[in-house]
Amino acid sequence: MPANTFNVFIQRYDPDRDTVPHFVAYKVPRQDGMVVADVLQYLYETETPDLGFLWECRTRRCGTCAVRVGDRPVLTCSEPVCDDMRLLPLEGIPVVRDLIVDRQELEERLAPWANNGAGPLQEARVLLDSEEIAQYRSLSECIDCFICDSVCPALHENAKGGTQFSGPRRLIRLEAQAQRRAEPLPWLRYAALGNPSLCTRCFACTEACPRELRPAEAIGSLTKKLFERHELDAHKTSHINSFVRSILRGAWLDEFRLLVDIYGAVRVAKFVPQALRMLRRGKLPRPHFGQAEQGQNIQTMLRGLEKNRSRDPR
């Protein structure tokens, strides 16, 4: 291979022609400052005019050019090239052709909950302080590249049925709206329909977001708002309350009590077979685990926090 060229392997798939996706190798002349989008454009113009890929702005603003380089989702307009790179479409989204994924299908998949009676969203906007404006601006800079959704394990689980998770992309949009409203409740209820508690807190979206918007933390912020307004689902609410009670009672999480708090004294009986297995292995959490003295110590420490909060006019 000439020294001034490099290999690129692109996953090709045309549903009208191919039964399964396959990789095709190409040689591309190297240029200084070359990004992945340049490679795709070069191949389209010189070698394979049927190559399916998207781009619009070339300035990291439109989000249409997202693909994977190996396992890593990137924007082709800013990703430097490397030798022997493998280009694939985003994961977990149906492929239209080659590197193009069906964004419309993903939107439609969310439609049943997205249109589900959350009411008119016409509330007055609220005046934000400078810190809040910065936070809102940050979240509102989402470019709909779908990278966060494509790496989300909870969203991928939707395909196997059961309760559906709306995914990080939709939730950061709603968190941004909730932040700037005088009455965020309709927006929060709208978000709650997307089951944010199904987020696994894995931070794959935060790590992958090309705009560094930290979607996982935005879902955490939504969770806080929903919890404070008693709008969070019952299981997650019980989970949080059980943590707080355990820590105040004995510093450590009482794992036995956690299940009772979440499922109730009757429904927790379904865990008896598992409890017996753990008992046989000598690892069944014992009831009332904790250190009461340390729980008291923590209560004393947090009392000041409560006092400060009651003096805070907010």
Partner 1 sequence: MPTRYAYFQGCAARQSCPELNQATLLVAKHLGWELTTLENAACTGARDLIEAQPEMAIVLNARTLSLAESQGLDRLMTVCATCTITLRQVNKLLKEDRPTLDMANKQLASIGLRYNGTVDVRHFLWLLIADYGLDRLKEHVKRPLTDLSVAPYYGCHILRPSDVLGFDDPDNPRSLHDLIVALGGRPADFSSQADCCGFHMMTIDENRAARHAGGLLVDAQQQGADVMVTACPLCHISMDSWQPKSERVMKRTIGMPVIHVPQLVGLALGYSPRELGLERHIVRPLEIIQKYSI
* Angle, vertex CA 77, rays to CA 84 and CA 22, nearest 5: 40
CB atoms within 10 A of CB 180: 18
* Angle, vertex CA 147, rays to CA 187 and CA 181, nearest 5: 20
Q: Which one of residues 7, 104, 116, 200 is an interface residue with partner 1 (CB under 8 A)?
A: 200
Q: Which is nearer to partner 1, 102 or 233 (CB)?
A: 233
Question: What does the alpha-carbon distance between residue 260 and residue 272 come to, in Å, rounded to a whole number?
Answer: 12
Considering the complex, what minimum distance in angstroms separates the CB of residue 71 from partner 1? 6
User: Could you tell me the maximum CA-CA distance found in the chain, to the nearest angstrom?
Assistant: 75
Q: Which residues contact 72 (CB under 8 A, 6 or more apart)?
A: 208
Number of amino acids touching partner 1 (CB under 8 A)? 68
Q: Which is nearer to partner 1, 33 or 304 (CB)?
A: 304
Could you tell me which stretch among 32-40, 128-136, 140-148, 276-284 binds partner 1 (CB under 8 A)? Answer: 276-284
Q: 142-181: which residues touch partner 1 (CB under 8 A)?
A: 153-154, 157, 160, 162-163
Report whether 77 contacts 37 (CB < 8 A). Answer: yes
DSSP-derived secondary structure for 124-155: PB-PPPHHHHHHHHHHHT-----HHHHT-HHH
244 binds partner 1 (CB under 8 A): yes
What DSSP state is assigned to residue 79? P
Q: 13-32: which residues touch partner 1 (CB under 8 A)?
A: none
236 binds partner 1 (CB under 8 A): yes
267 binds partner 1 (CB under 8 A): no
Question: What does the alpha-carbon distance between residue 65 and residue 75 come to, in Å, rounded to a whole number?
Answer: 6
Q: Which one of residues 235, 264, 269, 279 is an interface residue with partner 1 (CB under 8 A)?
A: 235
Q: Which is nearer to partner 1, 100 or 154 (CB)?
A: 154
Report whether 81 contacts 36 (CB < 8 A). Answer: yes
Considering the complex, what minimum distance in angstroms separates the CB of residue 53 from partner 1? 22
CB atoms within 10 A of CB 37: 20
Report whether 301 contacts 281 (CB < 8 A). Answer: no
Q: Which one of residues 220, 245, 260, 268 is an interface residue with partner 1 (CB under 8 A)?
A: 220
284 binds partner 1 (CB under 8 A): yes
288 binds partner 1 (CB under 8 A): no
Could you tell me which stretch among 35-43, 96-104, 120-128, 283-291 binds partner 1 (CB under 8 A)? Answer: 283-291
Question: What does the alpha-carbon distance between residue 224 and residue 231 come to, in Å, rounded to a whole number?
Answer: 10
> Which parts of this chain interact with partner 1 (CB under 8 A)?
70-72, 153-154, 157, 160, 162-163, 195, 197-204, 206-207, 214, 216, 220-221, 223-224, 227-228, 233, 235-236, 239-240, 243-244, 246-247, 251-253, 255-256, 258-259, 262, 273-274, 277-278, 281-286, 289, 291, 294, 297-298, 300-305, 308-309
